[in-house]
Amino acid sequence: MNVPRRRGIKGVEIAAICIVGRVPRTRRGLRGMPGVCRRSSLYNIHLRHDFASGHLRQRRTENNKKQGLIMKKLEQKKNRQAGFTLIELMVVIIILGVLAGLIIPRIMGRPDEARQAKAKIQMEALESALKLYKLDNGSYPTTEQGLNALVEAPTIGNVPKNWRQGGYLEKGKVPKDPWGNDFIYVSPGSHGDVDLTCLGADAEPGGEGVNKDINNWEVE
């Protein structure tokens, strides 16, 4: 059976199916068809148009849902990454404190080695606190601001806008090295963003044995 074809709404190709038989093409289109054929053709036009419109709406709905899920997953991933960074640094500080309590008593019979081990652990804890400071404020404390910026909000130099209430050190004060001296802090440093040095037992640069300097860029 030959099927005359017409182009329907929005470019959808419509097959005017006539159950009576072949219908000649006329300028009047569907008006030139027999009644039964004309009704059948109009029915198929509406049926195909409704199907195409419904399919398009369904595709758009599915695409919108997919885009929404993708944006939601990206937002959740971003939040997880930021939260993990803060938690990770806090856990490092806690672990270092525990290690100090476990290791130092075992080598108390060798006081010089015990002090050197403690100095290294203290420096690692200070580095972790400095990273938290930078995470909140965008930069490390300057050399002028010093390590005291970890316990008191600086009022000179690059004043932090998001300084954490309570500070960045657990006991609220900057620790002394095992020999009772201050750690040397420089930022920006010669060996990295932050240089930390413990001057050893003699509190003087250089030295050997217990007097040897301990530097954060040399600590493994």
Report which residue type is found at 134: K
SS3 138: coil
**Burial track 160-185 (b if 16+ CB lie within 10 A, e otherwise):** beebeeebbbeeeebbebbeebebbb
State residue 170's pLDDT score.
Answer: 84
Same structural domain for residues 117 and 199? yes
Same structural domain for residues 113 and 208? yes
State residue 43's pLDDT score.
Answer: 47
- The enclosing domain of 146 has a CATH number of 3.30.700.10
pLDDT digits (tens, 9 = 90+) for 125-167: 999 999 999 999 999 999 999 999 999 999 998 899 999 999 9
> How many structural domains compose the chain?
2
Residue 18 has pLDDT above 50, yes or no: no
- Establish if 121 belongs to a structural domain: yes
Same structural domain for residues 135 and 204? yes
Residue 105 has pLDDT above 70, yes or no: no
- Establish if 150 belongs to a structural domain: yes
- Residues in Cβ contact with 15 at an 8 Å cutoff, skipping those fewer than 6 apart: 3, 5, 44, 48
* Share of the chain residues as helix, strand and coil, in percent rounded to the nearest 5: 50, 5, 40
Sign of CA dihedral 220, 111, 109, 126: negative
Same structural domain for residues 54 and 142? no
- Establish if 201 belongs to a structural domain: yes
The boundaries of the domain holding residue 164 are 107-215
- Stated as kind and residue range, the H or E segment containing 215 is strand 214-215
Average pLDDT over residues 57-75: 70
pTM over 0.75: no
- Establish if 75 belongs to a structural domain: no
Same structural domain for residues 209 and 114? yes
- Establish if 100 belongs to a structural domain: no
Report the distance separating Cα 144 and Cα 167, nearest Å: 18
Residue 123 has pLDDT above 50, yes or no: yes
Same structural domain for residues 112 and 44? no
